[in-house]
Amino acid sequence: MADVIDRFITVPDGLNLHVRIHGANNGGTPIVCLPGLTRNVLDFEDLARMLAAPPYDRRIIAISSRGRGLSDRDPQPERYTIPVEAGDVVSVLDALGIDRAAFIGTSRGGLILHVLAMTHLDRIERLVLNDIGPVLETEGLRQIQGYLGTRPAPSSYAEAADILKATHGAEFPALRPDDWAGMAQALYREIDGKLTADIDQAIAAQFRAADLSQPFPDLWAQFALLADKRVMVVRGEHSRLLSRATTDDMAQRHAQCTVVEAKGQGHAPLLHLNGLAEAIGTFLGS
């Protein structure tokens, strides 16, 4: 198994971000993984291990955005924004000496990539958008609001897995017990003897307070900037956030866009299951 290195990189406003590198000595274009709203580097652990090993042998860099996982909590919660987090990604690339990378963006991580298309298009070699696109369905956003910060506090990782399955199981029939256990390990951390969601609660409060009475502005203009980049879109079969109509439109507008459906999964799919990792590894090339 490829070596795993954990680093903490300081961004311009002084926060330290946790970065996990798999296959640090591997060649090829680096692959940078950006998690979703409440997720962290552990969200990509299984996928990164697969892509860092033969036959792919790639260097994988996963970043926990500010306020998530082991990254610093921001004393100014108003800075938990997609543009600020996009700037953090650029700072990490600069610190690691990476001029250009392939990217995998899950949910909010994919929105960050839409911002980077406007500000640092030259840093993107190709990209995978995991259950995210230029149009976000209000139903899916309301679903996230509904469960964010409202799950009961678990007393053990086994109970956390049960809670996650009870909340999301209907949309994720493809997941097995060990998948729910892995998700619990990724989303919760023991702090002062108690299991807690591994995210600054200011982020959850910010999202719960968002006004969803009006549609989220579309990002077609930003997506159009990616016209010369190869794009793979992974859509969860049961996703309420990314519709089939949107992925069809993405493929029609973008000649180099490939759409893959994650069978038996909702928002956002685990990328190491049911051949997805192999499809992503082939797409990302060398």
State the pLDDT at residue 246. Answer: 98
Total structural domains within the chain: 1
pLDDT reported for residue 135: 97
Note the pLDDT of residue 283: 96
Query: Looking at residue 203, what is its pLDDT?
Result: 93
- Asked if residue 97 is part of any domain, the answer here is yes
195 inside domain: no
pLDDT at 152: 78
pLDDT (tens digit, 0 to 9) for every residue of the chain, 286 residues total?
A: 568 999 999 999 999 999 999 999 999 999 999 999 999 999 999 999 999 999 999 999 999 999 999 999 999 999 999 999 999 999 999 999 999 999 999 999 999 999 999 999 999 999 999 999 999 999 999 988 888 866 778 999 999 999 999 999 999 999 999 999 999 999 999 988 889 999 999 998 898 888 888 888 999 999 999 999 999 999 999 999 999 999 999 999 999 999 999 999 999 999 999 999 999 999 998 6
Q: Which domain holds residue 46?
A: 4-140+217-284
187 lies in some domain: no
User: pTM score, two decimals?
Assistant: 0.95
Is residue 252 a part of any domain in this protein?
yes
Q: Is residue 105 part of a domain?
A: yes
- 253 domain-assigned: yes
Secondary structure of the chain in the HEC alphabet? CCCEEEEEEECCCCCEEEEEEECCCCEEEEEEEECCCCCCHHHHHHHHHHHHCCCCCEEEEEECCCCECCCCCCCCHHHCCHHHHHHHHHHHHHHCCCCCEEEEEECHHHHHHHHHHHHCHHHEEEEEEECCCCCCCHHHHHHHHHHCCCCCCCCCHHHHHHHHHHHHHHHCCCCCHHHHHHHHHHHEEEECCEEEECECHHHHHHHHCCCCCCCCCCCHHHHHCCCCCEEEEEEECCCCCCCHHHHHHHHHHCCCEEEEEECCCCCCCCCCCCCHHHHHHHHHCC
Residue 107 lies in a domain: yes
> Domain with 91 in it: what CATH number?
3.40.50.1820
- Residue 29 inside a domain? The answer is yes
